[in-house]
Amino acid sequence: MTQTLSSKVAFVTGGGRGIGAAIVRRLAREGATVAFTYQNSAAAANELVAEVAAAGGRSIALQADVADAESLTRAIDTTAHQLGKIDILVNNAGVLLLGTLDDFTLEDFDKTLAINVRAVFVAAKAAVPHMGQGGRIINIGSCNAERMPFPGGSAYAMSKSALQGLVQGLARDLGPKGITVNNVQPGPTNTDMNPEVGDFAEAMHGIMALQRHAHPDEIAAMVAYVAGPEAGFVTGASLTIDGGFNA
């Protein structure tokens, strides 16, 4: 495979597992040096670093709480200091908290916003000073930004819809700097957060054109495209990869 991201430096939030880990592997395979954050599982993060190294790539794991602006900013600044720059920012860290209006707590509402929205803004604000022409900001949104067919997901859907407006605005702000800003919006994806088996998965498959979950590698492939040179004219977009969930 041609390494389209050779000499690039990527920073991925929530890269220790699930979709984030798949993105770390794919960007490293494309030639990027990848720094990624994890919150709790140092062992899993270190295993991923070793896996990337065994495949001939380079990655760095940093412990950070993305809901803490100082912690997240420090991780980004540390990466830029150690590696000289940041070319690609992938805001992958997210939280899925469900509940109807009568039982969804204000604490869970605030946590949803802090991780799914505020952290994206904080990371972009911290990373842009370390970016040059051709920089990429990529957010992992959700197809639920456009369709929430089940009860209990209002706060989550709202948080992912907010990214659409944020991306459109930031694309205008950062276009003169030659930096593109986009969302990748997955549908159901087989991770610990949303496993492919179980009653809830079957209900989701029933409304999809392709009646299965995505593999995390399929989402990572879309991210790699948006991060690469062929997507230089794509900005302000929300690119849905959902197996027809929203069709």
Amino acid of residue 198 = G
pLDDT digits (tens, 9 = 90+) for 28-57: 999 999 999 999 989 999 999 999 999 999
The rounded distance, in Å, linking the Cα atoms of 90 and 15 is 9
The rounded distance, in Å, linking the Cα atoms of 133 and 242 is 31
Q: Is residue 4 part of a domain?
A: no
Q: Is residue 246 part of a domain?
A: no
Q: Is residue 2 part of a domain?
A: no
pTM of this prediction?
A: 0.97
Q: Is residue 3 part of a domain?
A: no
pLDDT digits (tens, 9 = 90+) for 220-231: 999 999 999 999
Q: Is residue 189 part of a domain?
A: yes
In the chain, how many domains are there? 1
Distance of CA 142 to the CA centre of its chain: 10
CATH assignment at residue 185: 3.40.50.720
Q: Is residue 86 part of a domain?
A: yes
HSE at residue 185, side-chain half, CA atoms within 13 A, is 25
Task: Report, as residue numbers or ranges, the catalytic residues.
Answer: 156
Q: Is residue 79 part of a domain?
A: yes
Domain limits for position 86: 9-241
The rounded distance, in Å, linking the Cα atoms of 160 and 172 is 19
Q: Is residue 142 part of a domain?
A: yes
State residue 235 phi and psi, 5-degree precision. -155, 150
